[in-house]
Structure 1
Amino acid sequence: MAVHLRIVALTVTTAEAEQTYRFDRPATVITGPIGTGKSSLLMLFKHALGGSAMLTPAVRDHVLSVQAEVVVGDERVVLRRTIEGDAADTVDLLDPHSLALERTLPLRASEGVTTLSEHILDALGFPREQIAARREGAARPQNLTFNDLYAYVYLQAREIDRQVVGHLDSWFETKRRELFRLMFGLTDSALMELKRTRNQLLDTLKARTAEHDNVSSFLAASDPRSDDELRAELTQLRDTLERASSALASLRTELEEQTAADTALRDELQSAIRAARQTEEEVSATADLVEARHAVVAQVQLDLSRLARSVTAIDQLSPFEFVVCPRCMQSLAARAIEDGHCLVCLQLDPVEADIDPAAIEETRTALQQQLEDAQRIQQSDEAHLQTVQERSQQLSFAVTSLRRELDAQTRDAVAPRFDAIAEASSRVASLKASIDAITQLRESWARVRTIDADIRSLKADRRQVNKDIKEKSEQLKANQTLLGDLSTEFSRLLTSWNLPWVDTAVIDRDTYLPVVNGRPFETLQASGGGIATSVNLAYSLTLLAFGLDHSDVLVPSLLVIDSPRKAFGNNASDRQRAAEIYSRFRTLADAYGERLQLIIADNDPPPITSDSFGKVEFDYENPMVPGVDHPGPDQVTRIESQSDS
């Protein structure tokens, strides 16, 4: 049974006005001149349902938001989405009665959040699946979304004579096929999971095979020896290393024994070195002390000399009366000198009591005694310094003698052992390095064996998965009969339109696309756009009716068609063909009633009448965007010229 999807109404809101367009009949035809907004209204359906729609400048510049009342399965929902801004990345889900906001659903998937696509698919009862897709050569499963399913619903004007359900878009081709298989029961969750597993196994197998090749190439380039040769050489190296290590240990033991014999002499040498160092320190300290004694003696001698000069000066100069300055020889006679002052320095003359010869003599005696004491101490310190210096020389000679004795004792016993130990240590280190290098090579060989085992396991898993896929496909093969019935219905419809160029028409069992006269759809344009359009319409109408007639087929019950008479001429045969297409619309609407919905945008009114047809009419005075004056037919921007918004 077709999944029930129906658009009840669409409300377009601008800053100036708001307009609601209703679609109450099984079929609704939207008519009007070019540029009045027919295609834009259909694009707004897609936009409201969360799709990426092409919007004209008039819509982007003036429409603030669009609100769609939709029946999805058994659920009636109201969806509101803005045209521009961050809010355009979400869709508001409103209460259908009060229009109060119930929740806001994102358009992009994120962990733990239900998207609008997931909500609609769940309401439709359409399975939510991932397909086994590849991007940049790697397996990256992709979600099948409602927007993908909508490609089977919406026949755009620019695509209606060019491709069938986007089959020329390489990025969409895998999704198109998987959606068809899901709708017709040619696949299910288990089979799709097996295909995803097969893709993942293929990627892993490619990666492990490349790794195996890289490691094998490295081994071939770095060392020609096989793993068996490396294993034998490693065993030999380990035996050699064991013997070399034993020899090294023996040399070290002998050296330790010889070192023990030299311990007493070394201890004596160390004691002598310490004593010599202490004596050198004593010599340095005594020398500093002797130097200090010399300074004391010199100072006392200086004081005695100064005292002697002072006494001599007093004795020699006191009897004289200076009449001239003894320095500059100028006359002193004219100077006014107070009584009791010196004629030369003008200081008070000393009284006789201040110049005491006994005191001077006492001072001389004290200084002489100090000098004798200082000289005696100096001589004692100099004698001690000489003694210490002699002892230091003796200790230095003892140290030198002990060193010579130790060198002579160890020269013939220890040095050769040191050389042997160094050579043995180098040999052990070289053997260990060789063992490490071979071990690394063997680890690479072990890695190759592990990869080989993984590759064999992966190939076995892939064979099993392919077998499971084949068995599962066989279980679902019974549904292939539906394809034969679908192909028959398609051929019957297309030939009923009395198209003179149609001899055979089938739906290919591999691509699920129409093939007319043995030719694929994309080659039909050479015969005229009207031919391709007729085939595309017949294909979509056949899918729609087939889904309604078969309970196990999940084709959506809504079909939106933009410009079904695109590329048709105005001669009698073209008008007849258009009448037959609209007759098919009427037949479907009358036969299935509310179970289906057709929404058709066309420049001209329907060539036939029916009570099942509702109407939405636009003109330049009343375009689709409410409250905005149309600039006129000369300023028309067709939606086919717009890029995806």
Structure 2
Amino acid sequence: MAVSLRIVSLTVTTGEAEQTYRFDRPATVITGPIGTGKSSLLMLFKHVLGGSAMLTPAVRENVLSVQAEVVAGDERMVLRRAIEGDAADTVDLLDPHSLALERALPLRAGDGLTTLSDHLLNALGFPREQIATRREGSARPQNLTFNDLYAYIYLQAREIDRQVVGHLDSWFETKRRELFRLMFGLTDSALMELKRTKNQLLDKLKARTAEHNNVSAFLAASDPRSDDELRAELKQMRDTLGRAETGLSSLRTELEEQTAADTALRLELQNAIRSAQQAEEEVAAAADLVEARHAVVAQVHLDLSRLARSATAIDQLSPFEFVACPRCMQSLAARSVEDGHCLVCLQPDPVEADIDPAAIEETRTTLQQQLEDAQRIQQSDEAHLQAAQERSQQLSFVVASLRRQLDAQTRDAVAPRFDAIAEASSRVAALKAAIDAITQLRESWARVRTIDADIRAIKAERTRVNKAIKAKSEQLKASQTLVGDLSTEFGQLLTGWNLPWVDTAVIDRDTYLPVINGQPFESLQASGGGIATSVNLAYSLTLLAFGLDHPEVLVPSLLVIDSPRKAFGNNDSDRQRAAEIYSRFRTMADAYGERLQLIIADNDPPPITSEFFGKVEFDYDNPMVPGVDHPGPDHVGRLENEADG
């Protein structure tokens, strides 16, 4: 059955006033001169339902919020959205009876958040699906939202004679097709999941193929040898390395054996070196002692000299009385000197015992004895120093002799082995480096083989998924008959309007778009906007009726049409065509009653009458925005010429 959606009323609130517009009939026609707000009212439907709508300056500058009473499925809800500011990023869900705020529904998806789109789709019972899309060459699944579905509901004035359900917008084309398939049962969750998997596998295949090409190009540029050649060369090198390591081990064993034979001589040399070091230390100590003895003897000599000079001075100068300073020859006669002090130095005169010749002689004898003792000890220490020096020289000779003997013993046996070991070690290192290089190359080849296996697995999985897609599509193929029936009804409706230049009209089974006289919709531009508008209207009306007639088809039961007579003229044929279109509106309203809702905005009143037509009328004295004076017919413009708001 058709997806039941109905707009019961819309309330527009400004700073000065508030106005509620009701849509109680199966079909409501909104009329009024250009610029009075017909299209703006339809845009406010889209705005309050969470869409990005074009809003005129009059709406943006004066309207504070818009509130809609909506029936979606079995749920009656009241939605309110601000026009500008941060509050416009959410839609308030109000209690339909008390109008108390129940919760604010965000417009953009987030972790764990239920968006307005989620809430509306759940209420409608319309599947919430992700579709397989590609952006910038990679798979990026996208959610199908209520705003996407609204493209099937709302025929905008600026698009009504240009494109069908936004089919010229490349970013929307995939969504348009998938929505049609969902509505007609041509796809389901399982098939859409398979298509997303197919897209992901394509990305993986591209990535692994690019990686394979890069690694292969690196191998081709770095080394021309194949993996088989590298494997054979690696085996040969490992064999050579084994032999080289065996030879190196043998040389080291021989060197160890020869070293064991030299151990005794080395030990003797080590002992001799230690003894020579001790002898050198003993020589150094003896030399320090001899030097100290020399210092003692020299000091005693100095003491004897000083004693001799003192005795001579006393003997020579004591008889004299100085009348003049012996240094500067100044007279001392007038100098005041205490009794018992020297007239020259002013020191106390020495005691008689201090200058006793016997005492001086005794001191000299003592010093002489000390000198003899010190000289005797010095001679003994010098003899010890000489003996230590001789012993040190002997031990140094022994060390030199042992070293010459060890050098002679190892020159012919050990040194050649050291050279051989160095050469063998260098060869082993070179072989290991070459093996490492080949191993790295083989690792790259192994990576190529792994990537090859991954590519084969991905291709196999892709084949399986393609088969599953084909099988699932075959299961759903029965729904293609619905598209054929839809095409038949579309052709009957359109040819019944007797449009000029329209001989055949079908709906393409691949694009799900109108094809007129075997040509796509875009070709109608040359025939005039009235023809294109009529085809677009016939397409949407056929979809609406088909959904109401077929329980399995999920076409929304609401259709909002802006300016169905936009491109029509005023001649008889144009008026006749307009009458036929409105007659179709009346017929559907009569036939389906409350099961459908048509909301039509047009400049002029309907060319036919019907009790099923509700009316909303605007004029320059009573425009759509309440409480705001209209500047008049000289200051109007079409909404489709405004920038997106």
TM-score, reference length from structure 1 = 0.91
Q: What is aligned with 1:577?
A: 577
Residue 200 of structure 1 pairs with residue 200 of structure 2: yes
Q: Work out whether residues 36 and 618 of structure 1, in 8 Å CA contact, stay in contact via their aligned partners in 2.
A: yes
Residue 533 of structure 1 pairs with residue 529 of structure 2: no
Q: 549-558 or 11-20: which moved more?
A: 11-20
Q: Distance in 2 between matches of 1:601 and 1:261?
A: 116
Q: Distance in 1 between matches of 2:624 and 2:385?
A: 124
How far apart are 1:319 and its partner, in Å? 4.4
How far apart are 1:367 and its partner, in Å? 5.1
Q: What is aligned with 2:169?
A: 169
How far apart are 1:405 and its partner, in Å? 0.9
How far apart are 1:346 and its partner, in Å? 4.9
Cα-to-partner distance string for 1:539-566 (whole Å, 9 max, x where unaligned): 1111111111110110111112222222
Change (3 A) 1:355 1:494: farther
Q: What is aligned with 2:141?
A: 141
Q: Distance in 2 between matches of 1:495 and 1:297?
A: 149
Q: What is aligned with 1:98?
A: 98
Q: Work out whether residues 15 and 64 of structure 1, in 8 Å CA contact, stay in contact via their aligned partners in 2.
A: yes
Q: What is aligned with 2:24?
A: 24
How far apart are 1:528 and its partner, in Å? 2.0
Amino acid at match of 1:534: S
Amino acid at match of 1:155: L
Q: What is aligned with 2:49?
A: 49
Q: What is aligned with 1:495?
A: 495
Q: Work out whether residues 56 and 637 of structure 1, in 8 Å CA contact, stay in contact via their aligned partners in 2.
A: no
Q: What is aligned with 1:2?
A: 2
Cα-to-partner distance string for 1:145-197 (whole Å, 9 max, x where unaligned): 11111111112222222211111111111111011001011111121122222
Q: What is aligned with 2:446?
A: 446
2:92 alignment partner, SS class: strand
Q: What is aligned with 1:566?
A: 566
Residue 212 of structure 1 pairs with residue 209 of structure 2: no
How far apart are 1:19 and its partner, in Å? 3.2
Residue 225 of structure 1 pairs with residue 225 of structure 2: yes
How far apart are 1:282 and its partner, in Å? 3.4
Q: Distance in 2 between matches of 1:570 and 1:27?
A: 24
Q: Distance in 1 between matches of 2:64 and 2:359?
A: 126
- Following superposition of structure 1 onto structure 2, how do residues 83-482 of structure 1 map, counting pairs within 5 Å? 83-335=83-335, 342-346=342-346, 352=352, 371-482=371-482
Q: 172-181 or 14-23: which moved more?
A: 14-23
TM-score, reference length from structure 2 = 0.91
Q: 448-457 or 297-306: which moved more?
A: 297-306
1:11 alignment partner, SS class: strand
Amino acid at match of 2:558: L
Q: Distance in 1 between matches of 2:305 and 2:90?
A: 115
Cα-to-partner distance string for 1:575-625 (whole Å, 9 max, x where unaligned): 333332222222222222221122222333333333322333334444433
Change (3 A) 1:135 1:339: same
Q: Distance in 2 between matches of 1:161 and 1:506?
A: 18
Q: Distance in 1 between matches of 2:341 and 2:627?
A: 130
Calculate percent identity across the aligned residue pairs. 88
Runs of 5+ consecutive residues of structure 2 not aligned to the other structure: none
Change (3 A) 1:304 1:40: farther
1:251 alignment partner, SS class: helix
Q: Work out whether residues 4 and 558 of structure 1, in 8 Å CA contact, stay in contact via their aligned partners in 2.
A: yes
Cα-to-partner distance string for 1:338-364 (whole Å, 9 max, x where unaligned): 555554455555565676666666665
Change (3 A) 1:542 1:425: same
Q: 500-509 or 279-288: which moved more?
A: 279-288
Change (3 A) 1:325 1:178: same
How far apart are 1:3 and its partner, in Å? 0.5
Q: Distance in 2 between matches of 1:83 and 1:399?
A: 107
2:96 alignment partner, SS class: coil
Q: Distance in 2 between matches of 1:511 and 1:368?
A: 139
Q: Distance in 2 between matches of 1:551 and 1:30?
A: 30
2:616 alignment partner, SS class: strand
Q: What is aligned with 1:639?
A: 639
Runs of 5+ consecutive residues of structure 1 not aligned to the other structure: none
1:243 alignment partner, SS class: helix
Q: 94-103 or 613-622: which moved more?
A: 613-622
Q: Distance in 2 between matches of 1:84 and 1:219?
A: 61
2:77 alignment partner, SS class: strand
Q: Distance in 1 between matches of 2:358 and 2:20?
A: 143
Q: Distance in 2 between matches of 1:319 and 1:512?
A: 156
Q: Work out whether residues 56 and 638 of structure 1, in 8 Å CA contact, stay in contact via their aligned partners in 2.
A: no
Cα-to-partner distance string for 1:434-471 (whole Å, 9 max, x where unaligned): 33333333333333333333333333332222222222
